Amino acid sequence: MFERYAIDSFKRFGEGGYGATFAAKDRKSGENLVVKVVDTRKMKLGLIVKECEFMDTCRGHENIIGLKNHGIGQGKHGHLYFIFMERAAGGELFDQLTTHNGAVPEALVRGFMLQLLAGVEHCHTRGVAHRDLKLENVLLDESGVVKVIDFGLSHQYGFDAAGNVDRSKPIEGFCGSKSYAAPEVLVGRGYDGFVADMWSLGVCMFGLLNGFFPVDEAKIADWRFEKLAKAQRARKSSVATILSWYKKDTRHLSPESVDLLDRLLLVEPAQRATMEDTLSHPWVTGQKAPTPDYYDDDKLHFRGGIGGMGQSEPFDMEIMDDAPVYRSLGGAMESDLDDGMPPAELPGMCRQDAFGGERSAIALDFDF
């Protein structure tokens, strides 16, 4: 297999905790590729192969990075696993924040999000919950086409006799990236991977439109999350609430974008917008947004519960003893949020490592 590919060890695109990505070329077709080289001493071989299986399951869609080939190295490279993929040289979606010096124009965000939604919907139809959707895991090719990458933390659902994705069994365990992970994930109880993906999509959209995260971490140790949950219980707009902490308002956003974000960033998983809801939303379809009705007591409802289990009780935000430790980015005091007081410190956005992987600390060696 490896005779077919040339790897440029001097052109490294990035490096993570257990591998690195290099430029590569298919000698047979002449196509420019990238190769993700993973050190099997730092990540179990079975997990690497599983990631490739997820990519293979989701291949065939223009908004999913294309898997070309993969396999274990030979000789002195026998501890390395090589994953050859299509090259997307337009940078990460996160880079758009730098390009635009903060918030990205809404028209551009809508174009990116429509493609991102299409890619994630494709994964969901194949039974795959991504579980680490973030701006760093979305690349652009030279034409600006979105490519979802990094399926290392994904979950594969089975299918029932009718061919429908079977989400009846909740997923257990912490997984994702801190500021993008859904609150039900951080609590550490069973959750629906598709519903958790929708929260992460909301964080991506909010971040692009505003230049900062809606919350530092969706758990009660973060004062922002406590305030957000309280506002939602009072039937207030999440977007307007978040911006008010920093003495900002929603005038730079369309009513349609505010409405969709309010639905995606609902703390209660069973109330959160589904993929079907989102794809039919006016911000996505280009129609005018209706008067919001989801904060109406008469219309507020659950969408079948986590994992289709018919849950009808409110989501419990109690923190577990073994939950990840919170470290605040903002450092605002409660008094900072009172009327007439200085605004809370505006948080920034930074690239984040995922949690939930199995790694060890040894030196990386990529001597090709």
- As annotated, the active-site residues are 132
d(CA 278, CA 86): 29
252-274 exposure pattern, b = at least 16 Cβ within 10 A, e = fewer: ebbebbbbbbbbbbbbbbbbbbb
**CB contact at 8 A, 267 and 275:** no
CA separation for the pair 231, 240 (Å, rounded) = 10
Bridge partners of 7? 24
Burial call 144-179: b when 16+ CB within 10 Å, e when fewer: eebbbbbbbbbbebeeeeeeebebeebbeeebbbbb
* Pick from 157, 229, 185, 129: nearest CA to 323: 185
